[in-house]
Amino acid sequence: MADRIDWIALAIFLFFFALVTVMGFFAARWKSGPVSAHLDEWGLGGRQFGTWITWFLVGGDFYTAYTVIAVPALVYAVGAYGFFALPYTIIVYPFVFAVMPVLWKTAHANGYVTAADVVHGIYHSRSLELAVAITGMVATMPYIALQLIGMGVVIKAMGLTGELPIVAAFIILALYTYSSGLRAPALIAFVKDTMIYIVVLVAVVVVPAKLGGYGAVFSAANDAFTAKGGATGLILKPSQMLPYATLALGSALAAFMYPHTLTGIFASKSADTIRKNAILLPAYTLLLGLIALLGYMAYAANIKVSSPNDVVPVLFKVLFPSWFAGFAFSAIAIGALVPAAVMSIGAANLFTRNVWKSYIDPQISHAGEAAVAKIASLIVKIGALAFTLFLPTQYALDLQLLGGLWILQTFPALVFGLFTRWFRAEGLLLGWAVGILWGSWTAWSNGLKPLATIDLGGGSYTFYVGLGALILNVAVAAIATVIVSRLSPDRRRSVIAPS
Amino acid sequence: MWILLLVPFVGLLWVPFYNSLEPALFGFPFFYWYQLAWVPITSLLIWLVYRSRTPDESP
């Protein structure tokens, strides 16, 4: 498909890329604050983002460019099963509403910047803090790499070959993230999300109109799946129902354990900002559901691709004039910049607060923290870039999958402590380790499929391995807590009752 | 009121309930429009809980 360069699409792409680059550097002066004087400024944009900025920022980094490529690709490949992203991104919000304001209050009252700060604040355990911090950093790396892959897909669709364009785009991103911190993606998110909304709304109206309506789209997909056979179709096979539900639940619980989503939470102005966002953010889920349907529209448009990831770009190229395809590709590429920036900032905050400050320089000043984090964000991005350039794409996908499983294992340490002080740090650490080891081993021995199967009472159950690992994690943490409490009951009990 | 927050979990995780093609709506099989319908319903439920709770003390 990358046969010749589409100049109109490319020109539009370059225009928008230049626009967000200027915005990225200008962002340092937006909502003015001394960006380099304090990590709160560089890493959290001054903890001042209100409802709308948070909506764009969290929407922009949770629903990533890779999502726009990968969800329709999965739906194109397997049908209904690929839709688990929809229940996942719905049930995440009641959870966000109930838990994240409590987390925000703890972080705000104590000046915490990362999840690991919160964990250390609650349990006073350096090892548990380090476990949470390392899990966050490791899980984030392949996620950034995926954003690059998403950007690479659209750059290729415009006819540009080689790795130079993506390297150039990434260096620019790294530089303005370095100079402006979280303000850059927050400002760019406005452009990115507006563009994505326009693209998707046009696509979901125009494409079915060209293809004979949604009825025709679904029946074309149905015919294709009938011909294809296997575990595909417009509805789930009975054996897919438990995997579907557990993937949705496990992903929803993991979603706000990631450094980039939590950075959006910590950067909010108030607990109420987060509550309002739990009500408003589902608008993006509606968008995601419509984006997923692009996978079926491809069948109605008779598109055949060798790699499912090319479904969206090819669909736009076939059905739209060059200028609109260029606009859509810009939206997706800019859509990669926002999450990549926030992810690298989240990982840099973890490194600064929970590795550098905890182990190397405990007396570090606020300005020193900001300086370390800026350098760390560069290293994280270069690491992710090297990842995409020198390792096969499949590694990034596999590691991203394992990353979701790993980050989910930090759930008990981060969330339980907000509501109860019953668990002991030793127990949570052991639960974390067991969850990660069992989950990774199970996924590995299944050929890196995210599913595990157990036989119970004559029946065989297949479910999302991350959720299984979480249940094991909690069970081990609870048992270990009981044992540790028996052995050393004289622990200094927390005087302040958690709210 | 907080119990309302659990309703979307039940509605969406009980997959056998909605894993069917019929009844279709505007060309969308049941599986699809049912799940899409949960987006506004979930927003509404969270809003109801939000409205019913006592507000934070002003900073």
CATH number at residue A114: 1.20.1730.10
Percent of chain B with pLDDT over 70: 93
Burial of B51 by CB count in 10 Å (0-12 exposed, 13-18 middle, 19+ buried)? exposed
Q: Which of residues 91-130 of A touch B (CB under 8 A)?
A: 91, 93-94, 97-98
The pLDDT mean for chain A works out to 85
**What pLDDT is recorded for position A2?**
45
Per the structure, the count of domains in chain A is 1
What global pTM score does this model have? Answer: 0.88
Give the tokens for residue B51: 């409205």
Q: Are A295 and A76 in contact (CB under 8 A)?
A: yes
**What pLDDT is recorded for position A208?**
84
pLDDT digits over A212-245, tens only? 888 888 888 888 888 887 778 888 888 888 989 9
pLDDT at A322 over 50: yes
pLDDT band of A449, cuts 50, 70, 90: confident
Neighbours of A391 (CB within 10 A): 13
Average pLDDT over residues A454-458: 76
A90 Cα to chain B: minimum distance (Å): 6
A301: nearest Cα among A83, A151, A68, A76: A76
Q: Which of residues 1-59 of B touch A (CB under 8 A)?
A: 2, 5-6, 8-9, 12-16, 19-21, 24, 26-29, 31-32, 35-36, 38-40, 42-43, 45-47, 49-50, 55-56, 59
A113: nearest Cα among A258, A263, A275: A263
Does residue A182 sit in helix, strand or coil? coil
Find the radius of gyration of the CA atoms of chain A: 22
* Residues of the domain holding B10: 2-52
| Dihedrals phi, psi of B23, to nearest 5 degrees | -80, 135
pLDDT digits over A65-122, tens only? 778 888 888 899 888 888 998 999 999 999 999 999 999 999 988 989 899 999 999 9
Q: Does A132 contact chain B (CB < 8 Å)?
A: no
pLDDT digits over A258-311, tens only? 999 999 899 998 888 999 998 999 988 988 898 899 889 888 888 888 888 888
- For Cα atoms A175, A270, B36, give the angle at the middle one, nearest 5 degrees: 85
Does B6 contact A236 at a Cβ distance shorter than 8 Å?
no
The residue ranking higher by pLDDT, A81 or A460, is A81
Average pLDDT over residues B16-32: 88
Q: Is residue B7 part of a domain?
A: yes
**What pLDDT is recorded for position A35?**
65
Residue by residue, DSSP assigns A413-444 as IIIIHHH-S-S-HHHHHHHHHHHHHHHHHHHH
Distance CA A211, CA B26 (A): 15
Does B43 contact A216 at a Cβ distance shorter than 8 Å?
no
Distance CA A457, CA A463 (A): 16
Q: Is residue A226 part of a domain?
A: yes
Q: Is residue B59 part of a domain?
A: no
8-state DSSP, A461:
E
Average pLDDT over residues A320-343: 86
- For Cα atoms A370, A432, A356, give the angle at the middle one, nearest 5 degrees: 20
pLDDT band of A492, cuts 50, 70, 90: low
pLDDT digits over A157-178, tens only? 877 777 777 788 888 888 888 8
Q: Is residue B57 part of a domain?
A: no
pLDDT at A133 over 90: yes
pLDDT band of B57, cuts 50, 70, 90: low
pLDDT band of A315, cuts 50, 70, 90: confident
Tally of residues, chain B: 59
Per the structure, the count of domains in chain B is 1
Q: Is residue B29 part of a domain?
A: yes
* Residues of the domain holding A266: 7-393
Distance CA A141, CA A260 (A): 11
pLDDT digits over A406-440, tens only? 999 999 999 998 898 888 888 999 999 999 999 99
Q: What is the dihedral of CA B6, B8, B14, B20, to 10 degrees?
A: 170
Distance CA A279, CA B50 (A): 9
Cβ neighbours of B29 in A, within 8 Å = 218, 234-235
Q: Does A202 contact chain B (CB < 8 Å)?
A: no
Distance CA A377, CA A181 (A): 9
pLDDT at A254 over 70: yes
